[in-house]
Amino acid sequence: MTAAEIASQIKEEAKQLGFSLVGIAPAGRPDTLDFLHQWLSKGHAGEMGYMERRKDAYEHPSGVLPDVRSLILVGLNYFHHEAQATAPGVGRIAKYAAGSADYHDLIRKKLKQLSAVLHESSPECRSRVIVDTAPLLERDFARIAGLGWFGKNTMLINKWKGSYFFLGGILTDVELPPDQPHLTDHCGTCTRCLDACPTDAFEAPYVLDARKCISYLTIELRGQPIPESLRSGMKDWLFGCDVCQDVCPWNRKATNTEEPALLPDLSSARDAASFLIITEEEFRARYKRTPFSRPNREGLARNAAIVLGNSGDDQWVPALKTGLDDSSPLVRGASAWALGEILNAQTRKILENRRAVETDDTVLSEIDRVLRSQVEH
């Protein structure tokens, strides 16, 4: 088979496997590498230190697969039209994490099937499947492969599919004919994504300060309190955030995913209070193979406390009192803040009682700030 025939066969198989987008890019230096280095130097990656440690590896995809010649990039739609519940105490979850499966496992399985087609055509070839974890700037190569353009919210946007899709790829030492890069930016003068961000995370168009992004705060910021100035902006987001995508005009025609495992799992808990009650063992048993495992129980309990505090509803006082007795200072501190957002005679007494036995300085600081604030007002 010729290289063109192999490429055609791969693209056809990709569609059969359910990928909504597929394209081929030549191996080379990523276009935005210099921007990445500048972004890292500003500290915008926050606690995602792995990006700084691996910044040299992003120089060329050969750092992932030696002698790589081509990259096959795919997009998998995860959109669904489910209306997010807005009742007090019910946390919102980013669409990508609402299903019953971890997308890494799902896409990796499909890509291995796609890779098998490549190896049937070129038995001696080498390849490597990548799904979000290798030191590779997938968005760059996806744009070069014609899958879309970079939106002002930094997402890759496709004119027909919008931005609700996962990226994955296959690196190979087979040289395949590349697709035409997507060179046009179709955002125009629109700034809806920038204007809608609840925490003002965009320093400028195309520049995201991850340290202010709700997705980063609820998922990537592990073992630390969420900065107080950003907590109210989280509103009812329990895990991730879709605001900058929800308001994007290019997502108006988004269609539901055809992957059952990516459709909303109605058995998945969205009651924020449940994460203040669940044990470590119960959490691992229920969420081990889901995106929720990334921030772990401690992180989700912290997020849950903030969601309940932002609700301002005193029906959640018992759950927050449970959080105030949690073994994790991170959860106790968030619960103290949340009780302060529902401050009344009952919650003040709860905080005073906890202060009498609390030993962690960070938690004491949270409690004292709440109690002092009531006196000042």
Contact 90, 236 (CB under 8 A): yes
Contact 317, 347 (CB under 8 A): yes
* Strand partners for 26: 70
Could you tell me the end-to-end alpha-carbon distance of the chain, in angstroms, rounded to an integer? 77
Residue 132 is a catalytic residue: yes
Q: Please give the structure tokens belonging to residue 163.
A: 């931005």
For residue 36, the one-letter residue type is L
Task: Select which of 31, 56, 105, 132 is catalytic.
Answer: 132
Contact 175, 3 (CB under 8 A): yes
Distance from C-alpha of 310 to C-alpha of 312, rounded to nearest angstrom: 5
Nearest-5° Cα angle at 84, 213 to 256: 95
Q: Please give the structure tokens belonging to residue 150.
A: 């970079």
One DSSP character per residue, 290-346 reads SGGGTTHHHHHHHHHHHHHHHHT-GGGHHHHHHHHT-S-HHHHHHHHHHHHHT-SHH
Q: How many DSSP H helices and E strands does the chain contain?
A: 15, 10
Distance from C-alpha of 219 to C-alpha of 44, rounded to nearest angstrom: 16
Query: Whats the size of the chain, residue-wise?
Result: 377
**Hey, which residues are catalytic here?**
132
